[in-house]
Each structure stands twice: as C-alpha cells, then as structure tokens.
C-alpha cells in the first residue's frame, strides 16, 4: 500500500462521526470499548501497521501528517498513535500505551490543551496580539526580571477577548480550601456548565 493509497482510502461519511458530547459522557472503559470496535479506528490501526512496514522510523511522522488520519481523528474525537484494538480495557491500562484522548472525568490540564483552546477560540487579531507578546517573552528566561516584565505587560493589555471565560469546564481551584467549600463550588460550577451546554 502506498502513501497515496493511504490518504485516498478514507471518505467523508456523516454516519461514522460521533454525535456531539457523546464521547465525553462515557466512562473510560466505554470510551475504549466503543472506539476499538469502530470501523474508522480499525482503519487507523491498519494504516499504522502499514506505515510501520513501509516507512520504519518515519512511520510516526507520516502517520500524524496523513490527511486521512487527521480526518479520522476528527471524526472519532481522538488523536495520537493507536493502541492495538485487540487489547481489552484492563490490558490497555497495564500496557505502556497512554492515549491522550482516553481522559478521566477530572484531570490536570496540559499546556498543549491550553494552546489548542487559544488557537480554536481567539480571533485572528487576538492570536496575532498574543503571538507577538509570546515571541517577546521567548527572548527572556523563566523566573527572570525580563519575563516578569512581559507578564506585567500581558496583564495591562486592554483586550476584552483575553478576559472572556473559556466555554469549557477548565477551572482554577485552590487545593488548600476547605473540602466542603471546594465540593460545593465544584458542584455549582458543574451545574452551571451543564445548563449552558444543554446536557
């Protein structure tokens, strides 16, 4: 199978796409069970195995850059190199594979996730402004006066878009707060988010 055949081997079909919010409502085990049996996931796994044979060390890069793979990721709401669909859930947890899309209901937020949120939500002008400020900050080192000055500059930017609330359950919390207060606040925020999302 050639690279062209891999990229030409997919087609747009709405019946293959997960319904909105469906994936997020599943437990971790059901996320894996419904994914590993999905025809698009089987296609991803077969494509990955073909590229390992064809491209060797370049297989991961070619896999990630394949338009067909990127399309299938979007349809399934997943990403990364696919674990074998033959693994059951317990075996998957015990393996050295850690698919980023198999997320728990509560988890820490990575810088990758923050960068994706900014790219998907900010306007072109907002991204250009932030990019300029990040580029300026890149000329300084962490925990230096120069970096601190760049942070102060960001605080002083008058741009409403940067102060808009993120339309997803991304929260700042105080681990030192009393447990009862924390649980109450988290429950209220969850209810508010569910009401806004209509779930």
Q: Which residues of the chain have pLDDT under 70?
A: 1-15, 20, 104-108
Q: Which residues contact 193 (CB under 8 A, 6 or more apart)?
A: 169
Longest CA–CA separation in the chain, Å: 59
The CA–CA distances, whole Å, from 50 to 11, 16, 54, 56, 150 equal: 19, 22, 6, 10, 47
How confident is the model at residue 2, as a pLDDT?
A: 44
How confident is the model at residue 62, as a pLDDT?
A: 95
Cα–Cα distance between 91 and 113 in angstroms, integer? 27
54 — phi, psi (to 5°)?
Answer: -80, -40
| pLDDT tens per residue, range 115-167 | 988 999 999 999 999 999 999 999 999 999 999 998 888 888 888 998 988 77
How confident is the model at residue 105, as a pLDDT?
A: 67
| Burial zone of 51 (CB within 10 Å; 0-12 exposed, 13-18 middle, 19+ buried) | buried
């Amino acid at each position: 199978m050639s690279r062209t055949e891999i990229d030409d081997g997919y087609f747009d079909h709405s019946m293959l796409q997960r319904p909105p919010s469906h994936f997020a409502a599943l437990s971790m085990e059901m996320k894996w069970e419904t994914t590993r049996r999905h025809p698009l996931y089987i296609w991803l796994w077969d494509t990955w195995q073909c590229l390992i044979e064809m491209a060797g060390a370049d297989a991961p890069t070619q896999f990630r850059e394949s338009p067909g793979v990127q399309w299938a990721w979007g349809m399934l709401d997943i990403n990364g190199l696919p674990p074998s669909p033959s693994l059951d859930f317990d075996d998957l947890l015990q393996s050295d594979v850690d698919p980023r899309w198999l997320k728990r209901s509560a988890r820490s937020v990575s810088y990758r996730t923050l960068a994706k949120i900014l790219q998907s939500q900010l306007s072109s002008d907002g991204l250009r402004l932030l990019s300029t400020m990040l580029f300026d900050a890149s000329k300084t080192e962490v925990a230096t006066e120069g970096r601190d000055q760049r942070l102060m500059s960001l605080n002083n930017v008058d741009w409403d878009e940067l102060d808009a609330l993120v339309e997803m359950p991304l929260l700042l919390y105080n681990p030192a707060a009393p447990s009862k207060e924390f649980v109450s606040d988290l429950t209220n925020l969850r209810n508010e988010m569910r009401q806004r999302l209509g779930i």
